[in-house]
Amino acid sequence: MDPKPAKLNKTPTIRRLPAYLHLLRQLQELGWETVSGTYLADELKLDPVQVRKDLTITGIVGKPRVGFRVTELIAAIVNYLGWNNPTEALLVGVGNLGSALLGYSGFQRHGLTIVVAFDADPRKIDTEVQGKIVLSLEKLPGLAQRLHIRLGILAVPAEAAQSAAELMVAAGMKAIWNFTPASLTVPAGIIVQNEDLSSGLAVLSRRLSSAESEELLP
């Protein structure tokens, strides 16, 4: 028994796993049976040591001189991420971004299905967007509980984010995937995963302006 309970977070590694997975699936289609960590590193512009270390998290061991079995590695990553057992989610906010998320086929491939969407705008209510029905927000609590949905995707305007989050929590959501720039306040134990485009844009903007100044004085 450790005095400190061992964090075991490994977020940077987890973030890289989908890239490994994507590449491995391509290799699998090409008929590769094994692949070396070195090769994966090359393709993904990563350090080979980092690749090997990352892959240990899945529990897979490779063979020296040979590498890793492609099929086995794919299964291990998918399993580690829980992408083999289906998760159902609801979505709140059917604007531009919300509609795109509704129709995004990438989620399906990772075991995530958005089963229903909600919006406050009467013109959208009871229509279908991307083949998914859009309901009034009032129906959220009842439906969420009946369908045992515990993941909510939040894509409303920033001003509406906190109240929508509260509605979600009251309706039993255990996790909120927050696509708004708002910082949500939720009870302890509720998972909030922020996915904000503007932080990516911030990094990109800085890199662009650094590149510019280097052009001038190289």
Partner DNA sequence: TAGATTGTTAATCGATTAACAATC
Closest distance to DNA from the beta carbon of 186 (Å):
19
Closest distance to DNA from the beta carbon of 65 (Å):
4
H or E segment at 108?
Answer: helix 105-109
DSSP code string of 40-101: HHHHHT--HHHHHHHHHTTT---BTTTBEEHHHHHHHHHHHHTTTS-EEEEEE--SHHHHHH
**Binder of residue 188, out of a second copy, DNA, none (CB less than 5 to 8 A by kind):** none
Q: Which stretch binds a second copy (CB under 8 A): 65-73, 117-125, 165-173, 204-212?
A: 204-212
Instruction: Calculate helix-pair angle for 11-29, 48-56, nearest 10 degrees.
Output: 100
Q: Which residues bind a second copy (CB under 8 A)?
A: 11, 14-19, 22-23, 43-45, 80-83, 87, 96-97, 99-101, 103-107, 110, 112, 130, 151, 158, 174-175, 177, 181-183, 189, 191, 193, 195-209, 211
Q: Which residues bind DNA (CB under 7 A)?
A: 7, 9-13, 36-38, 46-50, 52-53, 55-56, 60-68
